[in-house]
Homo-oligomer: A and B are copies of this chain.
């Protein structure tokens, strides 16, 4: 990519897992002159410092004294706590990369004027978490949702958009409540379904039975290896939207259960599902 005047000169990333780590690597490729500070546990920091992805390591958000951008990349509820610990002596922009947005957007309303917060959610991710799987092209061509809170932080929004675009992502803006409802269906429901399916099939089939499974089960349950700590926070901060999505799926499965001996009803659901699947895959293959 071409170099250009960086939107931020000193970026702090709090939480160096798959997303935080990939942001650090992408900054290195895009704006080599920007300084990157990492915040995480000593074990993670030692590993990340060794890789050259960050310039400096600190163990607490309270030690961040010169950042002009702070990116919170821990689980959602930790991000909310960390947001309120950011030192506010100098003006800075703060954002997060959490999978739900209402809780942190609401919490940000209590921030001092020197901290301009805009929530964010890069869509992408990978099968496995952790810095070991981080890569600079993780966001390339993928949507990155920003959730500005009305007209607050207008200038911050513009700088953040330039930053996110520079990492290769496509910026989309969305209201936090609409984001959470949409993700309840697009992301949280598939995750919980994959986990419940894996648990039910594993318990019924046993380890030996699972060896007879084909590629269908393998694909359908790929998400079942997702980390509990990330998803606990997502569920707790989006329980209403996820509950609505779960209700619809439970209702559909219950209906299907009653229709197993009715060929035309089976045809209908397969035809509808195949039609939506084709919509989902538009522009992806």
Report which A residues bind B (CB closer than 8 A). 123-126, 142-143, 145, 172, 182, 185-187, 189-205, 207, 209-229, 231-232, 235-236, 239, 242-243, 245-250, 252-254, 256-257, 260-261, 263, 266-267, 269-284
Contacts and interface: CB of A to CB of B under 8 A. Distances in A.
Nearest to A193: B197
B276 A260 contact: no
Contacts of A248: 200, 204
A125 B215 contact: yes
Contacts of A239: 260-261
B185 A201 contact: yes
B182 A189 contact: no
Nearest to A77: B263
Contact of A187 (B126, B213, B252, B281): B213
A191 B228 CA distance: 25
B216 A187 contact: yes
Nearest to A285: B218
A210 B198 contact: no
Contacts of A225: 273-274, 277-278
A219 B223 contact: yes
Contact of A196 (B191, B199, B218, B249): B249
B195 A125 contact: no
Nearest to A223: B216
A191 B201 CA distance: 12
Given A143-B212, A190-B217, A202-B279, A257 B250 contact: yes
Given A185-B204, A216-B222, A231-B270, 6 more contacts: A186-B217, A199-B272, A200-B252, A232-B270, A236-B263, A239-B260
